[in-house]
Structure 1
Amino acid sequence: MQPKVTFESWQLKSDLQYGIYAHGVEYPSEIQQQLIPQILAGKNVICHNNCGTGKTTALAIAALQQIDENINDVQIIIITQHKELVCSTNAVVTSIGQRMHLKSQNTEKLQKLNITVGTPISILNMLTKDINICNDIKTIMIDDIDEILERGFNQQLDQIMSSVPKSTQLVLVCKNMSEAILKKVIDPVIVEQK
């Protein structure tokens, strides 16, 4: 029997580890074990999985680990398909990052934040209002990209991706893989639920 993978094995920030356990997560789920190390290694990732597997928590953990707390600007953008998911994703980020010195909020209040969670429209509006905000963006994470594309936001996603540096890491999460999703990312690592 293999030993259980723990969050300590990834050498996460101590305040982040505290937040993970305070959030009620003891061990990483199967998808978290596959997804988090790939994101932390700086790879472009497409995660193909089902609901309820811990993907939102995985995105939050990876985003929080990547943050440089000495930089006050947006470093991570998480895009979800509607306002309810913006609020729930932001709640997970805030809960897990509770002891970290960062700012995270949805785009309803446009501030200089380390992590910004929003819909394609709100993120695009934020980037268009302040083009300098793009300078420190390390990663864009798009949750349920298949559903976002089905809702007709392909053009907005393309505009967002063309606004950030080419070196920006892309993490796409979907339930249904498609050619359109594969075309969004250069040389992705594919993570699938077994």
Structure 2
Amino acid sequence: MTSNNFETFNFNESLQEGLDAMGFNKPTPIQQEAIPEILKGKDLIACAQTGTGKTAAFILPILHKIAEKGDNQFNTLIIAPTRELAIQIDQQIQGLAYFVGVSSIAIYGGGDGLVWEQQKKALEHGTEIVVATPGRLIALLAGGKIKLDTLEHLVLDEADRMLDMGFSDDILKIINYLPKNRQTVLFSATMPPKIRQFSKKIVTDPHEINIAISKTAEGVTQRIYMAHDSQKESLLEHILTQKNYEAVIVFASTKDKVKSIFKTLKKKFKVEAFHSDLSQEERETIMSNFKNKTLKILIGTDIISRGIDVEGIELVINYDTPSDPEDYVHRVGRTARADKKGEAITFVNEKDLFKLHKTQNLIGLEIPRVDLPEELGTGPEYREPNARKGNAPSKGNFKKGTQKKQKPRNPRKNVQNKATQTSKDSPKPNAKKPASSSKENGQQSGKFRTRRNVTD
């Protein structure tokens, strides 16, 4: 079923009125495919990146079903990997559920006593939808603070991220508390084999959807700077002074590096560091300020690369080249959202060339390189990676246009040459000609959303 507008889904009248009032009329591709299946009650495995409208793809049909049923029982559990994503999902549910009179609550750890009291009261007074992080939910279940007998829908959002964070056992433990007769919906930004294996334990005869994964949006301009670590801070300052940016995210590889960059930038820019050492209240305040543009530069690790929906981010800077190519896609996906334009700049040192090569293979394009500002001097040389035995690129062993020599097929014809060769130039006995690396080809993900789409 393909729908050009939401009216073709025959949603509950109040829900449709709400969509009309909010100006949402055209579903995104993931919404077009997922909503009918969820309305049918089918288990679903959907592969779609953040920014494609996936949150509304599961919220809208569930709200429709709750509104049609008309009772106030606990109906839906949504599990998310981080507090930030749980809060964001809950906020979007509240915006859409207002028109149908459905309530929701986000349950997560790390807050103060007041936050926990608010969560506890909401559970005691009854709520139809709970959005929870795995750790807090298990604590509630173990303490008998939440009953799941009436549950009809289970949604796992960012399933790949939850497995990466080591939550697979926790999720399976939660599953044991759930009614067997339920609809399970699993959303994942990527679909590696471990996700497929894991999904077999929790879904039954699922419908599968795959929306153009592992590609960066057409609206983002990507660039790389070859830069030594000693040049990165000065380069970052140079970039941030070239334009009066309204919203910038700087990604670093570790919490300590985030703090170090913050100490440098705060002398000249309005900037905040976002990391796990902050209290929940501090994190919420920083994110709120960033969303309303009173804070223009945010520094963080990959904790903010997935599931955080902030409109109007103009620039993403990868201070460190992401180790995982998928993380590059998610970081870059913070900009050029909702058909807007954006920039993504990555700093690459001599040790990161292997990571860059993997990323370029994944996204199917070679990212343009830009010269460093003259005052910063010369950066590392960009070199194509050689291949190791078994065609695996060798980390940190990059040379452009060079290959190991092959062992001569007829040694007798090469006796004279062999005698005159220096030991340095002698062919190595087991050297093999490296296989050239190939790039994955694929279409760009394209424009998933229009101005009037329901966003993540």
Report what 2:100 is aligned to.
Answer: 100
Secondary structure of 1:105's aligned partner = strand
Cα deviation, 1:101-156, whole Å, max 9, x if unaligned, reads 22111125031210111111222233333377211100110110000011000111
CA distance 1:158–1:19, shift in 2 (3 Å):
same
Q: Which amino acid aligns with 1:47?
A: A
Report what 2:26 is aligned to.
Answer: 27
Higher relative contact order (CA 8 A, sep 6+): 1
Deviation at 1:58, TM superposition (A): 1.2
Report what 1:134 is aligned to.
Answer: 148
Listed as ranges, the matches of 1:5-84 within 5 Å are: 5-67=4-66, 70-84=70-84
User: What is the percent sequence identity of the aligned residues?
Assistant: 29
Q: Which moved more, 1:63-72 or 1:11-20?
A: 63-72
Q: Which amino acid aligns with 1:38?
A: E
**What residue ranges of structure 1 are gaps of 5+ in the alignment?**
none
Secondary structure of 1:47's aligned partner = strand
Cα deviation, 1:83-109, whole Å, max 9, x if unaligned, reads 111111011100011122221111250
Q: Distance in 1 between matches of 2:149 and 2:40?
A: 21
Q: Distance in 2 between matches of 1:23 and 1:51?
A: 21
Report what 1:117 is aligned to.
Answer: 131
Aligned partners of 2:35 and 2:58 also within 8 Å: yes
Report what 1:143 is aligned to.
Answer: 157
Count of residues in Structure 1 that have an aligned counterpart in Structure 2: 192
1:173 to 2:187 alignment: yes
Aligned partners of 2:97 and 2:103 also within 8 Å: no
Secondary structure of 1:53's aligned partner = coil
Deviation at 1:10, TM superposition (A): 1.4
Aligned partners of 1:23 and 1:95 also within 8 Å: no
Q: Distance in 1 between matches of 2:135 and 2:70?
A: 28
Q: Distance in 1 between matches of 2:144 and 2:152?
A: 17
Q: Which moved more, 1:61-70 or 1:96-105?
A: 61-70
Deviation at 1:27, TM superposition (A): 1.0
Report what 1:163 is aligned to.
Answer: 177
Deviation at 1:15, TM superposition (A): 1.4
Aligned partners of 1:19 and 1:95 also within 8 Å: no
Deviation at 1:24, TM superposition (A): 3.9
Report what 2:423 is aligned to.
Answer: none
Q: Distance in 1 between matches of 2:41 and 2:27?
A: 19
Cα deviation, 1:54-96, whole Å, max 9, x if unaligned, reads 0011121122112156433310011111111111101110001
Which of 198, 201, 207 is the matching residue for 1:189? 207
Secondary structure of 2:161's aligned partner = helix
Aligned partners of 2:3 and 2:32 also within 8 Å: no
Q: Distance in 2 between matches of 1:21 and 1:117?
A: 26
Q: Which moved more, 1:95-104 or 1:28-37?
A: 95-104
Q: Please say which structure displays the higher CA radius of gyration.
A: 2
CA distance 1:4–1:47, shift in 2 (3 Å):
closer
Q: Distance in 2 between matches of 1:63 and 1:54?
A: 15
Q: Distance in 2 between matches of 1:18 and 1:125?
A: 38
Aligned partners of 1:77 and 1:141 also within 8 Å: yes
Q: Distance in 2 between matches of 1:92 and 1:85?
A: 11
**What residue ranges of structure 2 are gaps of 5+ in the alignment?**
108-115, 213-456
Q: Distance in 2 between matches of 1:42 and 1:180?
A: 25
Q: Distance in 2 between matches of 1:89 and 1:181?
A: 22
Q: Distance in 1 between matches of 2:3 and 2:101?
A: 30
Q: Which moved more, 1:142-151 or 1:180-189?
A: 180-189
Q: Distance in 1 between matches of 2:84 and 2:103?
A: 20
